[in-house]
Amino acid sequence: MAPLSPKPRPGVLDIEAYVPGESHVPGGLKPVKLSSNETPLGPSPKAIEAFAAAGTALERYPDGQASALRQAIARRFGLNPDRIVCGAGSDELISLIAHAYLGPGDEGLYTEHGFLLYRIVILAAGATPVVAPEKDLKADVDAILARVTPRTRIVFLANPNNPTGTYLGIDEVRRLRASLPADVLLVLDAAYAEYVRRNDYEAGLELVATTENTVMTRTFSKIFGLAGLRIGWAYCPAAVADALNRIRGPFNLSAPSIAAGAAAMEDWSHIEAAVRHNDEWLPWLTAEIEKLGLTVTPSVANFILVHFPKDSGRDAAACDAFLKQRGVIVRRVAGYGLPGALRITIGSESDNRKVVEALAAFAGSQA
């Protein structure tokens, strides 16, 4: 008889683990890493300073309320700090929300090419994932509403979405909220909100403030340049903040994270510089890649989705391998139902030029 061994809950081993963007290339080349939507500007010098200062008292537990960080966020956006919950990346908050509001028999909804973590956290909570189709690589409010059932507990919407870079205007988001049943939590994942330059876009602060059933998550990993520290925050109705605070780890953010995040929030000129950089290079990269005869989905974030022909040798997989040989790492997105595309982060000027050169060489090698 086989010896007994511990078994995870049913379903856990059916979950496909999240595959992060790659960071290594063959031959020890220094990679041009454009695979994880990190900022080429790095963090604010003030955040680096605060991080270093926090390193002098590592024997102490951090403030379990992350008060300095919540207050800095509240000041910046004019929010009630009691309704802000911080997490080790917005990943942790998305996971906490799923664990607080989903269980076996419940359904969690997300869209066809939506951020892959949603599926993982829904399954991890023992619930059933339900996928709404998108239209032209963009979330479709009617399709989402059509998949709502009495078992639906959460709708996750990345706005803008990763990996498509598309977004829903605030009127559509409001329509979604107004048409969802009141007991369905709408989670607006606004990881790339700071990059968006569109008059009809809002991250969702007002919706959170004026409804009892909408949460917005944000991150310090993208435009703030602090991905390595793992800092995220959620703006929540009071009852949701209460639920999340009951189940989160009591010290879920480290002291250096709290200090660096708070300092980063105070340095808005750094964020503005990152927005200006993106405003310059997002259109440039899009146009240069289109000149090579490839299709680019119009993006409002700090990355673009590039579509390749299906022909063997010219497809996304072949291009990915070609780029990697030249030290350029981009993101395959087959796991998002987009086997014919690659996602490319807007990098520094030199990285952007290198990726275009490498793509041109790939196109030339196929001609």
Ligand X SMILES: Cc1ncc(COP(=O)(O)O)c(C=O)c1O
Query: Which positions lie near ligand X, rule CB under 6 A?
Result: 37, 89-91, 115, 158, 162, 189, 191, 219, 221, 227, 232
Beta carbon of residue 336, minimum distance to ligand X (angstroms, whole number):
11
Beta carbon of residue 37, minimum distance to ligand X (angstroms, whole number):
6
Beta carbon of residue 203, minimum distance to ligand X (angstroms, whole number):
12
Residue 40: how many CB atoms within 10 A of its CB?
A: 20
CA dihedral 133, 138, 142, 145 (to 10 degrees): 60
**Closer of 156 and 308 to ligand X (Cβ):** 156
Integer Cα distance of 24 and 227 in angstroms: 17
Integer Cα distance of 266 and 72 in angstroms: 7
Phi/psi at 69 (5° precision): -70, -45
Beta carbon of residue 217, minimum distance to ligand X (angstroms, whole number):
7
The one-letter code for the residue type at 298 is P
**Closer of 96 and 100 to ligand X (Cβ):** 96
**Closer of 162 and 288 to ligand X (Cβ):** 162
> Which of 163, 228, 149, 171 lies closest to 191 in space, CA to CA?
163
Integer Cα distance of 246 and 161 in angstroms: 29
**Closer of 124 and 363 to ligand X (Cβ):** 124
CA torsion through residues 178, 181, 182, 185, sign: negative
Beta carbon of residue 182, minimum distance to ligand X (angstroms, whole number):
25
For residue 76, the surrounding DSSP H or E stretch is helix 67-77
**Closer of 41 and 363 to ligand X (Cβ):** 41
> Which of 189, 209, 208 lies closest to 87 in space, CA to CA?
189
User: Which residue sits closest to ligand X, CB atoms considered?
Assistant: 89
Burial class, 33, CB count within 10 angstroms (exposed 0-12 / middle 13-18 / buried 19+):
buried
**Closer of 221 and 299 to ligand X (Cβ):** 221
Beta carbon of residue 327, minimum distance to ligand X (angstroms, whole number):
22
Q: Edge to edge, what strands does the sheet with 214-219 contain?
A: 84-87, 232-235, 214-219, 185-189, 152-158, 107-111, 128-132
Beta carbon of residue 106, minimum distance to ligand X (angstroms, whole number):
21
- DSSP secondary structure code for residue 70 in this structure: H
Beta carbon of residue 253, minimum distance to ligand X (angstroms, whole number):
12
**Closer of 41 and 292 to ligand X (Cβ):** 41
CA dihedral 112, 114, 117, 123 (to 10 degrees): -30
The pair of structure tokens assigned to 291 is 């000149």
Beta carbon of residue 197, minimum distance to ligand X (angstroms, whole number):
18
**Closer of 140 and 288 to ligand X (Cβ):** 140
**Cβ-based neighbours of 65, under 8 Å, separated by 6 or more:** none
Cβ(208)–Cβ(48) below 8 Å: no
Place of tokens 């996750």: 156
**Closer of 251 and 309 to ligand X (Cβ):** 251
Beta carbon of residue 325, minimum distance to ligand X (angstroms, whole number):
25
**Closer of 219 and 288 to ligand X (Cβ):** 219
